[in-house]
Amino acid sequence: MNSPKPAIIRDVAENIGAITSDIAAAAGKAARAVDDITLIAVAKRQPLDRIERALAAGHRIFGENRLQEAQGKWPALKETYPDIELHMIGALQTNKAADAMALFDVIHTLDREKLARKIADEAIKIGHCPDLFIQVNTGAETQKGGIALDVLTDFVAFCWEELNLPVIGLMCLPPIDEEPALHFALLQKLAKRHGFAKISMGMSGDFEKAIQFGATHIRVGTAVFGVRES
């Protein structure tokens, strides 16, 4: 029941099938409903034909970490598949917020006041707002995005009460050299404490563990599509 590791020889559709079974098994083990877990197929730096294979297999939920790259491929694909759901999972510059809101259905990387204000202003202008996750810097890494743990509570209150933003959950990206379970457990605790139902965590190598700790949105790239182009 291991998920496929970097899978260049297997077909994308087969990979999705295998991951779907792994999700079901992990959910079963954690006594959770499989419908509560969303597989975001992370398509960054993947060739178009692999993305098209995922679409042909019926998958519609995708993630990207760079706005510009996403703008280059998804508008055309959305014309053919209007029910595509796009998730922004990479760092977002404040001056690119409006462009990101025009393309993405969900943004996972809200992590500072300036960006929150910008998103709120734009939401009023365009009359809608993507669902938002607050990214939490659980490893206190200086080079990484995410709000610091000690100001999370204030930031949640600011987003909800002052700006009325549709923040639905928390997201984290654990340090690569640490046991992810510690970070998953921490994020689960923080989500519970702040009343969030959604948790975005877990990637190709650790999504089953993330499910064990309550992940509702797993972000899986290489296990779906194979190794990325550099």
Check binding of 134 to ligand PLP (CB under 6 A): no
Cβ-based nearer residue to ligand PLP, 91 or 120: 91
Choice from 23, 42, 191, 215 touching ligand PLP (CB under 6 A): 42
Name, in order, each residue with C-beta under 8 angstroms of 46's C-beta and a sequence gap of 6 or more.
Answer: 221, 225, 226, 228, 229
Site residues for ligand PLP, 73-112, by CB under 6 A, read 89-90
Task: Report the alpha-carbon distance of residue 119 to residue 98 in Å, rounded.
Answer: 7
CA distance 126 to 23: 36
Q: Which one of 12, 16, 119, 173 is in contact with ligand PLP (CB under 6 A)?
A: 173
Stretch that binds ligand PLP, among 26-34, 156-164, 182-190, 213-221 (CB under 6 A): 213-221
Q: Which stretch binds ligand PLP (CB under 6 A): 46-54, 68-76, 187-195, 221-229?
A: 221-229
**Torsions phi, psi for 168 (to 5 deg):** -110, -15
What are φ and ψ of residue 205, in 5° steps? Answer: -85, -10
Find the binder of ligand PLP among 44, 96, 194, 209 (CB under 6 A): 44
Tell whether residue 51 is a contact of ligand PLP (CB under 6 A): no
Does residue 65 interact with ligand PLP by CB under 6 A? yes
Closest CA to 115 of 88, 89, 92: 92
Residue type, 29: K
Assigned token pair, 194: 């702040």
- Give the SS3 label for residue 9: coil
Residue nearer to ligand PLP on the CB measure, 42 or 186: 42
Q: List 85's β-bridge partners, or say none.
A: 61
Q: Segment contacting ligand PLP (CB under 6 A): 111-119, 160-168, 185-193, 218-226?
A: 218-226
Minimal distance, residue 82 CB to ligand PLP, in Å:
25
**Number of residues this chain uses to bind ligand PLP (CB under 6 A):** 13
Q: Does 203 bind ligand PLP (CB under 6 A)?
A: yes
In the complex with ligand PLP, the residue whose CB is nearer, 123 or 172, is 172
Query: Per the structure block, which two tokens stand in for 53?
Result: 């294979």
219 makes contact with ligand PLP (CB under 6 A): yes
Q: Please give, one letter per residue, the 3-state secondary structure of 110-174.
A: ECCHHHHHHHHHHHHHHCCCCEEEEEECCCCCCCCCCECHHHHHHHHHHHHHHCCCCEEEEECCC
> Where do contacts with ligand PLP occur on this chain (CB under 6 A)?
42, 44, 65, 89-90, 173, 203-204, 219-223
